[in-house]
């Protein structure tokens, strides 16, 4: 693995670990992003644990490939929620401008998640 790829893997791993822990510590912060028909607290804890596990997996070479693939799938899974936010009367992220900015960032996260997947030897 190149030094750049390793650095990007560690950055994404730390980001995901932090986001996962934040879901567990401050679940109310994420409630506006969760559709009303979903149980917010359960979703927060589930996503938080999943994100933290992915983050930790990205930091550990033994689990890096499976964590990177799970990370890519999670980033793709989040895309429709960010897209829906653009069309809401009151976007969860705060404003339509922020929702428009956030949407292409999700594509960056998807590409980044794909880029750091280790190749099979």
Statement: residue 1 has pLDDT above 80: no
38: left (phi over 0), alpha (psi -120 to 50) or beta: beta
pTM of the model: 0.92
23: closest CA among 43, 3, 1, 2?
43
Q: For the segment 52-72, what is each residue's pLDDT rounded down to a tens digit?
A: 999 999 999 999 999 999 999
Task: Tell me the domain boundaries of the chain.
Answer: 3-115
> pLDDT averaged over the chain?
95
């Amino acid at each position: 693995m190149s030094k750049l790829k390793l650095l990007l893997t560690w950055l994404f791993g730390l980001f995901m670990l932090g986001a996962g822990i934040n879901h567990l510590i401050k679940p109310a912060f994420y409630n506006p992003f969760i559709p009303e028909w979903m149980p917010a607290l359960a979703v927060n804890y589930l996503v938080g644990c999943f994100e933290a596990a992915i983050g930790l997996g990205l930091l550990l070479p033994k689990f890096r490939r499976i964590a990177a693939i799970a990370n890519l799938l999670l980033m793709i899974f989040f895309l429709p929620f960010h897209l829906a936010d653009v069309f809401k009367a009151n976007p969860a992220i705060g404003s339509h401008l922020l929702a428009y900015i956030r949407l292409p960032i999700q594509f960056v996260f998807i590409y980044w998640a794909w880029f750091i997947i280790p190749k099979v030897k």
